[in-house]
Structure 1
Amino acid sequence: MSGTSEGPTPAADLDRSAVTESDAITARGAEPRSYRSVFTGAPLAMAVVDREGLVVGANLALGDLLGSEPDALTGRIAADLVDLASDARTWHAYREVLRGRPARLRCTRRLKHPDGQPLWAQVTVAPLRGEEPGTVLLSVADISARRELQARLRHLQMHDPVTRLPNRTLFFERLTAALEAEAYGQGGTGRVGLCYLDLDGFKAVNDTLGHRVGDRLLAAVADRLTRCADEAGRGRVSAPLVARLGGDEFALLVEDSTGTEQLADLAEAVLNAVQAPFELLGQRLSVSASIGVVERQAAGTSATALMQAADTTLYWAKADGKARWTLFDPERNAHRMTRQALASTLRPAIDRGEFTLEYQPLVRMEDSRLRGVEALVRWNHPQFGMLTPNRFIGLAEEDGSIVPLGRWVLATACRQARRWQVDHPGEPPIFVSVNVAVRQVWDSDLVADVAAILAETGLAPHLLQLELTESAVMGSAGRPLQALQALSDMGVHIAIDDFGTGYSNLAYLSRLPVSVLKLDGSFVRGFQYEGEGAPPNPADEVVVEAMIQLAHRLGLTVTAECVETSAQAARLRRIGCDTGQGWLYSRPVPPDRISGLLGVRV
């Protein structure tokens, strides 16, 4: 009877505690004939083995188990009968027992039954008391049924009951094992790939048709994914592992990946397979999938890191429009990580004083003199350096930190405007323009904040201008409109920033407390000459002139943004634009630079 150890050989159990009387059959205090009768007829397969490891006697049960007469086993090497010498650890433990140490060996072995069927056996070797030192009792218990039950239970534990695919637990086991094998160069490419997919619109199926149809759809998707994996594995060592991770999320793991092209081909095949209509319980259903694809060297990564990258890439696929696959992009991920880092440190940065203001001149077109300034916030980040508003204002609006940040900007700008007024009493005071986000109007008492800051700094209300974007102001009702009206009644000027990019409803402006329009820079950039010496495009000028004239009829003044050349300034001046702002006059500068522009032509 041949025997083999289980896969990676299970560790032998060598118990060095004293062996009790129940650990072995002993002849102490018993008649020899009675002992022989019990030993021979016992249902447990047993053999007595001498200190040399040879079988002294075997019972009928062991003979039946090994397919031999008990007498024929006498003199045989016991270790060969039950495969105890196949691994060093078990062999050493066995020899310890034979040397008379007060210990017991227990191990599991996969043997072959005489009928050719595999047999799982638990082998126990223990000292036989009352006999010559080194004599041991070897017993063999057939545990095949128990092992089969354990295997069935593990299969149930490790597989999804709906799709019968490996579940999240088994998937992570395989992924971890694959990464370890690839990282240590155990005969593979050293790379691993992953397609992480989510069904688009699956919730609607569950909500409208019920979970029974939803489960059938998941099972059908699983079948198609399995076929895709089998096709992808044709001609290779193994096919990708398909698993259901939960809900409508699936994953395909490619061990020994050959590169991104292999993963891209697999993702494309999966997309096509999932998009084909399903016929389920008399229903014709159509769904699509979004897939995040990651492929990389196994060395230096972990299962957690790989899944995080796949989850991020799946999010990109959904954000980009769904029904597509997206490959992991380290640069895009770095930007996302930077964005997260900025978001997590925004509020503390306000308390730490990491923000500063620069000011860009607003110049009166008719005489090129400084009329006011726009306050522009900058973040002097300790890690990423000086950041412009487009890097963090959107984040501040999302998490609500725009409220304390906006309050700080407003107070700082008003304080600076008042300081210029005090330091230059002989010059006409300039106004300061501050950008305000809609969330500041909704999430704080902007009117009270402005009133308190003006009172604290001593700045006159007419020297403060608040800028809101066109899309934020147009259609304002309720609290935002009430706030704007209250600020206007207070004497504060309200300006619409980037005008012309949204609704452009000038008639609606007559019902809003707005006093200034800031034309979006795209209109001014349209004033560029088409070639040296060539005339400008008259259509651009007609549009801007019409907007200016309508604004003036409504009692509004107009500021042009992005004025970069003297030719643009001349044309804006000719058609009646009131104020200009742009690099022709100055870039945003620190407060002390503004002091030098007071009272002079810019």
Structure 2
Amino acid sequence: MEPQLDPAPAEHPFRSAFSAAPLAMAVVDHEGVVVSANDTFGALLGTGPGDLAGQDAAELVDLTSDARAHHAYREVLSGHRAGLRCTRRLKHPDGRSLWVQVTVAPLPPDLPGGSPDSSPDSSPGGSPGVLMSLTDVSARRELQARLRHLQNHDPVTRLPNRTLFFERLSAALEAESYERGGTGRIGLCYLDLDGFKAVNDTLGHRVGDRLLAAVAERLTRCADEAGYGRASAPLVARLGGDEFALLVEDSTGTEQLADLAESVLTALQAPFEVSGRRLSVSASIGVVERRAAGTSATALMQAADTTLYWAKADGKARWTLFDPERNAHRMTRQALVSTLRAAVERGEFTLEYQPLVGMDDGRLRGVEALVRWRHPQFGVLTPNRFIQLAEDDGSIVPLGRWILATACRQARRWQLDHPDEPPIFVSVNVAVRQVWDSDLVADVAEVLAETGLAPQLLQLELTESAVMGSAGRPLQALQALSDMGVHIAIDDFGTGYSNLAYLSRLPVSVLKLDGSFVRGFQHEEQAGAADRPSPADEVIVEAMIQLAHRLGLTVTAECVETSGQASRLRRIGCDTGQGWLYSRPVPADRISELLDGRACGRR
């Protein structure tokens, strides 16, 4: 005989176990109505078990507010689903919230129903209904939330960390986020602290951490003030080290971001009182603001990082707005760097030559070899676009060898083509890195031997800052080249140390005056009121020329553009001139034409 559910526990062990079970349980019929519930179920919901009978079970555990969960529940009731497990948040009568795990499973057909009057045959499929059980998981949820908070927040500042920041940023850039309303724009202030490393290194990490926490408080205050009257305040996050970010969702434009950045700079101006010490730091801030559509988290952070670098390069303690044109220049620079070495091997470089003319007779004495890069994408590039890049990555060494060999070979060709004319010299620029990273003396000797050019017809130009103070290997190399017969010239003289006394200890034979001195040299009758000759410039240049001559050096003036400048330079004893008055840099065949006539005029 099958057991029947009855109030008498002695006769019905199932009801006795059901009532005394520590697990909250209720029997629900196929209509979703509570047939009976045990004491634990009632206690969890804050009501007596008898008061629950006849109530809608889905309403009691808030299944109706979740369409998917409620549909699955109805499927279990109808026998079309094996079971359901979900987590719901309930409101207890005493006001506190609790999380419960709800489990719903069909009762086996051979078990009695939830009331004394129920029978196995009174329900669909012969089943007495379903068993709903509840488990209080509030403590577990709280622990999970605490662990999740620790995982997503910085322990020093208690701000959101890098992980949470990128979660929020990625979510803000999803189409469904910005298409549902708002401005559809996003802004970012990316900053790091100027001077923090010194604090950390000298006072220790404990003080450094307290300073970071104090900075975080001020940043949060700035964000709260910026968010006043708006839907939400900017998210403040610590990305690591002394780097912070303020994310503005639904930004209204660059003005809003600029105001936020300015408020951050102002907030950080006041000194911090940390561990009994008065500490000061500032911030450099990169500001980016753009439409969210078409922007990725990676692209936004790259732009912010680049702009932060600009802010530091521009002097620190400031904010800088992302500039697409400036960024395009940076990208071009990177493209040049990445192709420099290969360009030398592909033969993309060529030389032009600018005449060096005797000031007394206007005749061609020599030429300066000037390299050009015929870039397949950016066109013809002058040295100021790539020489520094070549020095930075070391490609100046193979490029310098090529320039030296090509220039010497061309100078020898001119000499052979004009045997009846005095040969002209060729002047080649040399970077300091060529002296340090290669055997310049051996390279020069090899090129001269290969081309047959006399050492006296080669002049090597180094900048003043590179030559002054030379010692060790650079000085030895210069001395060896001078002993070989090669002339050494100081380029852009007058812009650096200008220590003429030091020149007596260097194997230098030529000074090239920087063009800034020459520009003021004009005939008084030709100069306007704002362009009068500078008596001081003329006195300084004349003194330098006289001292150079006393040291046995010759002087070349750069950037000679007018006959007035040439006349004054000639009068004070300058030896040679170079500039557009005589000729722009030209291809080698144009120099051949000049050699036929020898004298140089305006070109």
Instruction: Give the TM-score, by structure 2 length.
Output: 0.89
Contact 2:527 2:533 (C-alpha < 8 Å) held by counterparts: no
The residue aligned with 1:60 is 39
Cα deviation per residue 1:262-304 (whole Å; 9 max; x = unaligned)? 2222222222222212222222222222222222222222222
Contact 2:369 2:426 (C-alpha < 8 Å) held by counterparts: yes
- Partner SS for 1:198: strand
Does 1:237 pair with 2:231?
Answer: yes
**Aligned partner (choices 320, 331, 348) of residue 342 of structure 2:** 348
- Partner SS for 2:286: strand
**How much has 1:94 moved relative to structure 2?**
2.6
In structure 2, how many angstroms separate the alpha carbons of the residues matched to 1:215 and 1:202?
Answer: 10
In structure 1, how many angstroms separate the alpha carbons of the residues matched to 2:593 and 2:370?
Answer: 19
TM-aligned CA distance change 1:150 to 1:583, over 3 Å: same
Given residue 547 of structure 1, which amino acid in structure 2 is its aligned partner? M
- After superposition, residues 424-503 of structure 1 pair within 5 angstroms as 424-503=418-497
The residue aligned with 1:562 is 559
In structure 2, how many angstroms separate the alpha carbons of the residues matched to 1:474 and 1:286?
Answer: 39
In structure 1, how many angstroms separate the alpha carbons of the residues matched to 2:534 and 2:255?
Answer: 49
- After superposition, residues 240-255 of structure 1 pair within 5 angstroms as 240-255=234-249
The residue aligned with 1:47 is 26
Given residue 303 of structure 1, which amino acid in structure 2 is its aligned partner? A
**Aligned partner (choices 306, 316, 323) of residue 312 of structure 1:** 306
Contact 1:529 1:537 (C-alpha < 8 Å) held by counterparts: no
Contact 2:265 2:318 (C-alpha < 8 Å) held by counterparts: yes
Contact 1:469 1:499 (C-alpha < 8 Å) held by counterparts: yes
In structure 1, how many angstroms separate the alpha carbons of the residues matched to 2:288 and 2:223?
Answer: 16
**How much has 1:71 moved relative to structure 2?**
4.4
Q: Please, which runs of 5 or more residues in structure 2 have no aligned partner?
A: 111-123
Cα deviation per residue 1:4-56 (whole Å; 9 max; x = unaligned)? xxxxxxxxxxxxxxxxxxxxxx99xxx99222222232222223334443334
In structure 1, how many angstroms separate the alpha carbons of the residues matched to 2:12 and 2:416?
Answer: 121
Cα deviation per residue 1:200-237 (whole Å; 9 max; x = unaligned)? 21122222222222222122222222222222222222
**How much has 1:424 moved relative to structure 2?**
3.0
Does 1:171 pair with 2:165?
Answer: yes
Instruction: Give the TM-score, by structure 1 length.
Output: 0.90
Does 1:381 pair with 2:375?
Answer: yes
Contact 1:365 1:569 (C-alpha < 8 Å) held by counterparts: yes
The residue aligned with 2:121 is none
**How much has 1:513 moved relative to structure 2?**
0.9
Given residue 38 of structure 1, which amino acid in structure 2 is its aligned partner? A
Contact 1:370 1:599 (C-alpha < 8 Å) held by counterparts: no
Aligned length: 574
The residue aligned with 2:294 is 300
The residue aligned with 1:120 is 99
Cα deviation per residue 1:327-358 (whole Å; 9 max; x = unaligned)? 22222222222212212221122122221111
TM-aligned CA distance change 1:422 to 1:119, over 3 Å: same
Which 4+ residue blocks in structure 1 deviate beyond 6 angstroms? none
- After superposition, residues 541-580 of structure 1 pair within 5 angstroms as 541-580=538-577
Given residue 433 of structure 2, which amino acid in structure 1 is its aligned partner? R
- After superposition, residues 138-537 of structure 1 pair within 5 angstroms as 138-180=132-174, 184-529=178-523, 532=526
**How much has 1:137 moved relative to structure 2?**
2.4
Given residue 575 of structure 1, which amino acid in structure 2 is its aligned partner? I
**How much has 1:97 moved relative to structure 2?**
2.6
TM-aligned CA distance change 1:456 to 1:242, over 3 Å: same
The residue aligned with 1:592 is 589
TM-aligned CA distance change 1:531 to 1:172, over 3 Å: farther
Contact 1:182 1:256 (C-alpha < 8 Å) held by counterparts: no
Cα deviation per residue 1:167-218 (whole Å; 9 max; x = unaligned)? 2212222222233378633332222222222222112222222222222212
The residue aligned with 1:18 is none
- Partner SS for 1:598: helix
- Partner SS for 2:594: coil
- Partner SS for 2:419: coil
Cα deviation per residue 1:501-529 (whole Å; 9 max; x = unaligned)? 11222222122111111111112211134
The residue aligned with 2:114 is none
**How much has 1:395 moved relative to structure 2?**
1.1
Cα deviation per residue 1:449-498 (whole Å; 9 max; x = unaligned)? 11111112222211111000111111211111110010011111111111
Cα deviation per residue 1:405-444 (whole Å; 9 max; x = unaligned)? 1111111111222222233333332211110011111111
Contact 2:172 2:178 (C-alpha < 8 Å) held by counterparts: no
Moved more, 65-74 or 147-156: 65-74
In structure 2, how many angstroms separate the alpha carbons of the residues matched to 1:518 and 1:307?
Answer: 46
**How much has 1:256 moved relative to structure 2?**
2.3
Contact 1:183 1:298 (C-alpha < 8 Å) held by counterparts: no
- Partner SS for 2:479: helix
The residue aligned with 1:129 is 108
Contact 1:182 1:189 (C-alpha < 8 Å) held by counterparts: no
Contact 1:230 1:239 (C-alpha < 8 Å) held by counterparts: yes
The residue aligned with 1:582 is 579
- Partner SS for 2:12: helix
Contact 1:127 1:137 (C-alpha < 8 Å) held by counterparts: yes
- Partner SS for 2:87: strand
In structure 1, how many angstroms separate the alpha carbons of the residues matched to 2:176 and 2:250?
Answer: 7
Given residue 549 of structure 2, which amino acid in structure 1 is its aligned partner? H
**How much has 1:254 moved relative to structure 2?**
2.1
